[in-house]
Structures are given as C-alpha cells and as structure tokens.
Amino acid sequence: MDGQMTHEDRLSDFTRDRRVLLISAIALLLGCVSALVAEALVWLIAVITNLSYFQVFSSVFRSPEHHRLGALSILVPCAGGLVIGLMARYGSEKIRGHGIPEALEAILFGRSRMQARVAVLKPLSSAIAIGTGGPFGAEGPIIMTGGAVGSLFAQLVHLSSLERKTLLVAGAVGGMSAIFGTPLAAALLAVELLLFEWRPRSFIPVALAAASAYACRIPLMGFGPIFPIASHAMLAAPGLALALVVGIAAGLGSGLLTALVYGFEDLFGRLPMHWMWWPALGGLFVGIGGLIEPRVLGVGYETIHALLRGEIVGAALIGIIVGKSLVWTIALGSGTSGGVLAPLLMMGAALGAAMSSFMPMGEPGLWALLGMASMMGGTMRSPLTAIIFAVELTHDFNSLPALMVACVAAHGVTVLLLRRSILTEKVARRGFDVFREYEVDPLERFRVSEAMTKTVVTIPGSWGARVGWFTVWAAQQAARVIANRGRVMTV
C-alpha cells in the first residue's frame, strides 16, 4: 500500500522539466531580438516606400496611396515583384508566401530547423514587396523571421527538437507582439496555431518572449494601441444577434478569400513561364488596382484606423472590399512575399462598416471592429486570438462580448465550409496534412493498473505436460483437415 501511494504521488497535472527555466531565459532574450528585427523591418518598409513612391530617402512612414506618380505607379509593384522573383530563384524559395505556413511546415515536418539565409531574405523580400505597394502585412514575414532566429539559436547550442520548436515559436510570437503591441494575442496565436500542444514546458517560454518583445517595443516604436478608438457602448441581446450576422458574413467572406487565393495560385501554375516571373505579373495587377483605388496599396494601417473611426462610408467601402480582395489574392497567389493579417483586418473592417448601414443600432466603427476581428478569426481559424487581438489593437473592452459572438460564428462557418484554412492549405499542397484538434493521448490518461486484468485464470504446474501434448495433437489434426480440403479443391 505504501509503495502504491508513493507511485501515485509522482504523478502530476503536467509533465515537469527544470530545463524550462533555461529555455525561458533564452526566450526572454529572443523576445528582445524579435523586437529589434521588427523595428528594422518597419524602418526598411518606410525607406523603400519613400524611395519608390516619393523619391526621397526617409524613414518617416507615408502611405503609398498619397503618391503623385499617376499611371507610372503601375510599374512600381511590378518592379518589386521582379526583384522578389529573382531573390526567390537565386536566394531561397522559402521566402515565397505568407510566412506562417512556412513556420508551420518547419515545426511539424522539419524538426523546427530553419535556414540562416531565410532569416535575412524573408524580411528583406517582404519589405520590398510592401514598400513597392504590395497589399500585405508585415506580421507574416516577421513571424517567420523571428522563428528563424529562434531556430538558428537552438541549433547553435544543440538543443533538442522540442526545445527548438519552443524557441522557434518564441521568436515568432515575439515578432508579432512587437509589430502590433499585442502580447496576449501573440501568445494565444502560439497555442491555437503554432505549438500544437498545451504544455507549460512550451507555453511559459513563449509567453515570456511575447512579454519581453512588447516591453522592448515601447522605447522602439511607442506605447499604446496602434488603432486607438473611443470605447463603444456594450451591446445587449439584440445587438449580439446582429453581431452573429456580421460573424456569419465574415465567415462566408473568409471562405471566398481562401478559394480566391488558391484559385489564382492554380491559374499562375498553368502559365507557360517559370514561377520566378509570377510575382512581377501579380505586381502588375496590384499596380492597376492601386491606380483605381489607391487605398489598397501597402499595409493599409491608415485606412484600417479610418474605418474603425467610422470615417469611410458609402461606395468607398465597396471599392476597398473588392479592390483589396482582388489585388491581395492575385498577388498572394503569384507567390510573392507578404503577410495576411493586415489585409484581413482591412477587408473585414470594410465589410463590417458596409453592413453598418443596415444595422438599427451601434456606430459604424463598432461594426467595422467586429468585421475586422471575425474576418481574421474565420480565415485563420484562430478565434481566441482574433478576439483578444482586436481588444489589444483598440483597447475597446466594451466590445468583448460582441467580438466573442462574431469571431466564433465566423470560425464555425469556415470549419463547416472548408476542410483547411488559408494557412494549412498551403502546407497540404506541399504534401503534409495538419490536424489541429488538440486532445490528450488516452495512453497518457490511464495507469497500467486501471487497464490490466487483475483476476488472472491460472493452470496448475502439474498440467504442463498434458496441455503441451494436447496442443501439439490439436495442431496436427488442424493441419490434416486443411491438407484434405486442399486436395478436394484441387480435384
């Protein structure tokens, strides 16, 4: 009895390993490094944008929508796409795409190993893509870059594959936390999308990396939300029902966007030219779209903030929804380098603002916020991340119940409509299947004593010779029967 109690006392809720202290210390450092990388990426995007559209060398960010190049602006994204195609062909093909699918592939199927040149070429190619008008966000590239830094450090000090995964994810979420100033959402993204487990050994270092990146962001990029707005009145039951409608609409939009991205990718795959030229062709469509609606160019933070303040109404909303959707899906389908988060925020906010004209209550900015979050939650299938992300971006805590309803509704729609998300579909097309439902292995939940048969039927030792003789005789009789049946069938 005493031995049994001693054995049971060794069990615990989670697997414990004191090496988590060492990995946490490294993760804190990685968070700071990711913040520096994020700052460098933002600086580079601003410089390339000013050179491309305003012909000045400056790190003060200006949106490319304010350019005065006229029809010549069509050539700017095209030139950027050409440079990216050359970088991918002769540098590393892994710089193509969103950034997050590549991190997923490295975690699940590459033993969390990433190349050093990816850590350099990915942010550079993304800065060129966004700085030349590409309708992308910086979060995907910084997630992949931060992840590459974490992976490389783990390889340098010869850590295990599980510890490499933890540091890869720590670097990735550190980058996201630094770019957006959203440490909690970054940690939740790791749980919902990157870690593929819920264990203290990985979550503690990742959360600390997100916190340290945010702490370093304050002196580098400033304090406070990047989209500050006045808090909206909390919605009652009828308003939550309308939030459900917004979420369903955003879920349908998420499914359409996913289908468009991979539909255009398939179209590019049928072209009689090397994939190196595809980003330049995609850039040509971006340039044309930007000439028609300049607000679809670049990251679009200025436009997103205006949508959340309710300053864009009417036909302009339709132009943003249609224009941004087309140029983003065409450019992403061409295999260029860029992220998905910021475009989803813009398209979702425009959708919510457009639906506000049919809502009997609430301000346009509130519905824009709900559309923004639910579009992200549905497309990436990370509803918890989307809910907290929207709150951290705006500090509008009153909208939390409505955000929960809208994001969960959008998530449910896309789960029912699509087999995979926009992120996992990319991994699946490379021959790998991703299963995102987390559950505890039944073999880890039960003791041997609970599964074993405790009442065992025994045979006296004196029966051994008789049982052995009977077994041999039975086997001989069975062999004769089989042999006789074979002869009958042959006749």
Q: Which residues pair with 137 in a beta bridge?
A: 339
Amino acid 1: pLDDT? 44
**Contact residues for 197 (Cβ-Cβ < 8 A; gap 6+):** 438
297 touches 133 (CB < 8 A): yes
Amino acid 478: pLDDT? 76
Name, of 15-29, 108-122, 294-308, 330-344, the range with top average pLDDT. 294-308
204 touches 24 (CB < 8 A): yes
399 touches 373 (CB < 8 A): no
pLDDT at 270 over 90: yes
Give 429 or 34, the one with higher predicted confidence: 34
pLDDT tens for 451-465 read 677 776 666 656 555
As a whole number, the mean pLDDT across the chain is 85
328 touches 136 (CB < 8 A): yes
Rounded Cα distance between 339 and 332, Å, is 9
pLDDT tens for 341-371 read 889 999 999 999 999 999 999 899 999 999 9
**Contact residues for 115 (Cβ-Cβ < 8 A; gap 6+):** 92, 94, 148
pLDDT tens for 315-325 read 899 999 999 99
Amino acid 465: pLDDT? 58
Q: pLDDT band for position 491 (50/70/90)?
A: very low
- Tell me if 19-221 shares its fold with 237-428: yes
Q: Which CATH number fits domain 237-428: 1.10.3080.10, 3.90.740.10, 1.10.3720.10, 3.40.190.80?
A: 1.10.3080.10
Q: pLDDT band for position 326 (50/70/90)?
A: very high
pLDDT at 110 over 80: no
Give 16 or 421, the one with higher predicted confidence: 421
Dump the DSSP string for 96-145: SB-SHHHHHHHHHHSTT---HHHHHHHHHHHHHHHHTT---BSHHHHHHH
Give 148 or 236, the one with higher predicted confidence: 236
Rounded Cα distance between 101 and 113, Å, is 14
pLDDT tens for 374-433 read 999 999 989 999 999 999 999 999 999 999 999 999 999 999 998 888 877 777 777 777
Name, of 4-8, 175-179, 198-202, 371-375, the range with top average pLDDT. 371-375
The architecture of the domain spanning 19-221 is Orthogonal Bundle (1.10)
Q: pLDDT band for position 172 (50/70/90)?
A: confident
- Kindly state the DSSP code that residue 309 receives in the 8-state scheme: T
101, two tokens: 């699918």
Best CA proximity match to 102, nearest among 13, 194, 9, 188: 194
Q: pLDDT band for position 94 (50/70/90)?
A: confident
**Contact residues for 61 (Cβ-Cβ < 8 A; gap 6+):** 42, 45, 46, 49
pLDDT at 127 over 60: yes
Tell me the domain boundaries of the chain. 19-221, 237-428
Best CA proximity match to 369, nearest among 236, 254, 231: 231
